Structure 1
């Protein structure tokens, strides 16, 4: 068997395994974060989580397959390791970049939601209490 084909097989096995592991880890640990971003709506958080995982698989596996080719060919064991290290290193960088991009966008949405929650009063105002009225006003003096 040609060493280039061996490199392709090893690259695909490792890349697909890494993609599945990262997607599973992000999905499992991202549920709580998404629930917070979406104000406790668990059903919507699960749906968004699933859509993010599907998108992650599509983008990353698409990149892995597009990046499969090797124009130089692999002639020896050293070339095999060098080709694999470059390809897997780039895949890992893309995985990390996708994770950071997702986290950045979700964190922006979360911050916007927190800002909106801070600006909303806990109860609607009941009316204006003018000076000298209410429990915080100084006690009235008899005249």
Structure 2
């Protein structure tokens, strides 16, 4: 079997496995964060979490597929490892950047929610007080 094809197979297997593992990890850990961002609305947090995971899969697996082609022919074991290390390194960097973008956006939403909660008075107004007369 041609070593270039071996490189493709290994690249696809490792990239897809990494994508699935990262997506599941982010989904599990992110659920608590989303519930806080969405003020405890568990159903909405689950829906948003699922949508984020689907988007994550689409973007990352699309990138993995587009990045599959290798410009150089892989002729020996050393070239196989070099090609795989570059491709997998780029995939890991893309996964990291996507994760940081998600966290950044969710943190902005969370901050806005915290600011909204702080502007609500802690207790309802108890009554009305007439303004003081000047000079009294």
Residue in 2 that maps onto 1:26 = 26
1:129 & 1:118 partners in 2: Cα distance? 24
Residue in 2 that maps onto 1:118 = 118
Residue in 2 that maps onto 1:10 = 10
2:69 & 2:79 partners in 1: Cα distance? 14
Q: CA deviation at 1:124?
A: 2.8
Q: CA deviation at 1:71?
A: 1.1
1:6 & 1:93 partners in 2: Cα distance? 23
User: Gaps (5+ residues) in structure 2?
Assistant: none
Structure 1 length-normalised TM: 0.88
1:98 equivalenced with 2:98 (yes/no): yes
Instruction: Describe how 1:24-103 pairs up with structure 2 within 5 A.
Output: 24-103=24-103
Which aligned runs of 4 or more in structure 1 are off by greater than 3 angstroms? 127-132
When the two chains are superposed, the root-mean-square deviation of aligned CA atoms in Å is: 1.4
Q: Give the structure with higher Rg (CA).
A: 1
